[in-house]
A and B are shown apart, each in its own frame.
Chain A
Amino acid sequence: MRTKKKEGTAEAGKAVSPEKAAATGLWSGTVSFSLVAIPVRLVKAVEPGRVSFHLLHNKDYSPVKRAMFCPGEGAAVPPEEIVRGYELEPGKHLMVTDEELESVAPERSRTIEIAEFIDLREVDPLYFDHPYYLVPLKGGEKSYRLLAEALRRTNKAGLAKFVLGEREYLVTVRSKDGALALSTLHYSAELLADAQYAPGKAADEKEKNAVKKCVKEMLGGFTPGKYSDVRRKKLLALLKKKAGGAQVQAPELEGEPAEGVADLVAALEESMSRMKGAR
């Protein structure tokens, strides 16, 4: 069985994963429960706190960018010329269009239909895959608010399936600080068995009680802000030091839309204060 997502599959080139859809604001549709239908948009709930570097070509210092490259033509291919292909045999592909993919489950491609509600505390944390928020679109604000508030009161989460690109996702929709938060879940068939790692011998009672005593002494509340990424902190300090040193200049590129100018000091200070604020 494959356990890793392969690079170079459709996910890499097209906005089909919820992650990409959320980042680009691509997916919008309806979240519904019973006879109430709410227009929403999917947005991201987490942003990896990586210090981002640009890859440059060491000869001309122009940016090096990931692109889908056609070995036949010897050139990078624009997104509109990329299609999905299913490999029937080596070198022989079946082309599949977005419309055909949507036709596999037309009832789920634009609708997150909540048919059941569950107590989120019953969900083993193993199931959680990736978090997002839902944001109401025009006209949906009131029913959005209602669902969020009713979920908060009942302490429940909606359970639904929806389809994006080539995949169907099992998701929960819950209330978080006044917003609807969506999490994709793993299917139980995707979870491996952990029994194979269980030790042969049962726990020794005396030992167990000693561990319990120690755990009790160290019991506290979860305050994630106390912990920060050591590597990121070090990198930011390093960049601050290097910013005054030698710089290189990339050539001007034709037809390249100018990216917003990033003020290093402002960017660094923002990152620092975010880390401090989180602490």
Chain B
Amino acid sequence: MPATIWIGNIHFGTISVPVKLHTAVSQDRVEFHLLHKTDRVRLRQQMICALEKTPIPAEEQVKGFRLEERKYVLIAPADLEQAEPEGGREIAVHEFVAAGEIDPVYRERTYFLEPGEAPAGYAALAAALWEMKAEGICTWVMRKRAYLGALASGGKTLRLGVLRYADEVIPAGSLGLEDFSLSEKELEIGAQLIDRLSVPFQPGKYADEHQGKLRRLLERKARGEKISLLQPRQLRHTEGGKLLAALEASLKAAK
């Protein structure tokens, strides 16, 4: 069982359920080190003083907030402590929303919740949220940070997903996209094409094949074989005037 990350108490109304947070994702990938090209020495990350160009130990570093170029106010650890949200063990649920109402852009990592000590109510909460397809919008303080999250159920097990704060999401409107008029015919064929190519989501179908390929390349290289360099495939872009023809040909091919 992966280690417990944090222990807390889900709370709303008269309900209180103790839980332990566990990680939900485990990634195992080929790892690389960074080397210095000239002497092949492994590089280390260090904090370097811009003036002295030497590594600076943590105890010689101070935090500053930049007012203008080269001018700072120093922020002492005590100042930062003042700004710390009040800790505690409570995961306070403020309201419930229908699952699916939360735009994926808000979703960050998810934790699995293990029932804590005397977990009366855990099973009932997990079953109720699962059957109602509802998620609880909640806040809690963990490791000196205030989190917003969504409490949900995976059936029998509860989950706590971290949500981003609204002002951390960049609105699509700020991208400066131009409106382009499309003909009804183009849109209709585009929609038909999408419907025709639609499948149920079966995540198990998609494996990370790349890791295996990468490992094989490394093995060949280690044996001293020459690696032939392949050019990335570049597709010819569809010009606006040829869009309708491309869509029609696509639809034909998808039949």
Contacts and interface: CB of A to CB of B under 8 A. Distances in A.
Q: Do A and B bind each other?
A: yes
B110 interface: yes
Max chain A Cβ within 10 angstroms of own Cβ: one of B14, B51, B125, B217: B51
Interface residues of A, number: 190
A181 B105 contact: yes
Contacts of A123: 104, 201, 203
Closest 4 CB pairs of A and B: A168-B210, A34-B250, A150-B190, A72-B41
Given A143-B243, A204-B123, A230-B146, A238 B101 contact: no
A264 B73 CA distance: 11
B206 A13 contact: no
Most buried by A among B13, B34, B112, B145: B34
B175 A192 contact: no
Interface string A105-139: 11101110001111111111111100101011001
Nearest to A32: B235
A69 B191 contact: no
9 contacts: A51-B65, A62-B52, A84-B33, A100-B221, A146-B187, A154-B198, A179-B172, A214-B14, A249-B71
Given A125-B161, A128-B104, A220 B37 contact: no
* Residues of B contacting A: mostly: mixed
A46 B170 contact: yes
Interface in B220-255: 221-222, 227-240, 243, 246-247, 249-251, 253-254
Main secondary structure of the interface of A (DSSP, over half): mixed
A150 B183 CA distance: 12
B180 to A, nearest CB: 4
Interface string B119-159: 10111111111011010110101001110101010111101
B117 interface: no
Contacts of A71: 41-42, 44
Given A49-B168, A192-B24, A107 B233 contact: yes
Contacts of A196: 1
Interface residues of B, number: 176
Contacts of A225: 166-167
Given A34-B250, A49-B165, A125-B150, 4 more contacts: A135-B175, A149-B182, A216-B132, A219-B134
Given A60-B51, A224-B148, A231 B85 contact: yes
A104 B232 CA distance: 10
A227 B61 contact: no
A207 B52 contact: no
B153 to A, nearest CB: 10
B110 A125 contact: yes
A169 to B, nearest CB: 9
A24 B60 CA distance: 31
Contact of A103 (B60, B84, B144, B229): B229
Given A46-B170, A214-B12, A140 B237 contact: yes
Most chain B CB inside 10 Å of its own CB: which residue of A64, A99, A201: A64
Given A57-B52, A197-B114, A104 B214 contact: yes
Contacts of A66: 45-48
B178 to A, nearest CB: 6
Contacts of B247: 34-36, 146
B71 A247 contact: yes
Interface string B183-197: 000110011011101
A278 B168 CA distance: 10
B48 A65 contact: yes
Interface string A177-214: 11101010111111110111111011110011111101
A224 B64 contact: no
A65 B47 contact: yes
A273 to B, nearest CB: 10
A24 B153 CA distance: 37
Contact of A167 (B29, B163, B228, B240): B29
A141 B180 CA distance: 7
Contacts of A63: 49-50
A207 B193 contact: no
Contact of A142 (B134, B207, B243): B243
Contacts of B105: 45-46, 131, 176, 181, 183
A229 B187 contact: no
Nearest to B43: A68
Contacts of B197: 33-34, 115-117
